[in-house]
Structure 1
């Protein structure tokens, strides 16, 4: 069994690394962005109980997996099933640079134009990472990393191919 959880700031490379690991190690890939939000305007978080049910279903259906996201509340729920944690702890400047170069994510946006329209909000979100105190914050991610007792890795730069 190989179960990996990846977390960090938006733009830190979580999805990119998860995709590479999924392909190379034949792991099922689950992006928490697809279950964390309700389809409302403005977006609101899905109730945690509903997200937990979807995570449980994914884990039940997949023996080996990689799950990634920036949601400490959801990551903490997943970590009890993980045998490895990867903290993508890149600088805010690197995350901003990565976000500007992000390819279209069709599972999140109906078009590249819709994704690009959201970029200014995303860049502001990334900039607040170190000062926030919520479930998406550096302090919350650092606590997850510190408390994880199995194999763990922290990357402070983009992960090479």
Structure 2
């Protein structure tokens, strides 16, 4: 959806998932990710941010005019994870060891039961608390 919203328009796009993976290993995930998020919002008048990290989404909500909540169910999300084109850092097809993609799929499969910042309850609470324009999508469009 984020890619379709941006399309060929001159709109900046930030992936919170990329921020998460880029900063997770350095031990300062939240500090560095928030810094990048604030800089992005400051330097771009029109933008789309996408991702599922509640702490980052909550921080971005202060800059948002509209919030869209993709909630098509675990089965659709797992299918999307499997079929999404990835670079080699996400899956090594020759390895029998668990990969980051395997961990992502396991995590997404537990979405409805997770109680951390990656679970349905937290996402729904953020969505419900947003006072601007918002829409929940229960099917993949």
Q: TM-score, normalised by structure 2?
A: 0.85
Does the Cα contact within 8 Å between 2:67 and 2:127 map onto a contact in 1? Answer: yes
* Aligned position for 1:13: none
Q: Number of paired residues?
A: 136
**Which residue of structure 2 lines up, in the alignment, with residue 153 of structure 1?**
135
Once the two structures are TM-superposed, the CA of residue 24 in structure 1 deviates from its matched residue by 5.0
- Residue 120 to residue 31, structure 1, CA distance change in 2 (3 Å): same
- Listed as ranges, the matches of 1:50-65 within 5 Å are 50-65=32-47
RMSD: 2.2
Indicate the residue corresponding to 1:127 in structure 2: 109
Return closer, same or farther for 1:111/1:79 CA change in 2, 3 Å cut-off. Answer: closer
Select which of 54, 60, 74 maps to 1:92: 74
Alpha-carbon distance change, 36 to 120 in structure 1, aligned in 2, over 3 angstroms: closer
Which ranges of structure 1 fall in alignment gaps of 5 or more residues? 1-16
In structure 2, the gaps of 5 or more residues are: none
2:2 equivalent among 18, 23, 41: 18
Contact 2:91 2:101 in 1 (8 A): no
Which structure's relative contact order is higher, taking Cα pairs within 8 Å and 6+ residues apart? 1
The equivalences for 1:36-55 within 5 A come to 36-37=20-21, 38=23, 40=25, 46-55=28-37
Q: What SS does the corresponding residue of 2:7 show, helix, strand or coil?
A: helix
**Cα 1:18–1:151, aligned 2, differ >3 Å: closer, same or farther?**
same
Distance 1:56 1:87, change over 3 A: same
Matched, 1:30 2:20: no
Aligned CA distance change for structure 1 residues 84 and 94 (closer, same or farther; 3 Å): same
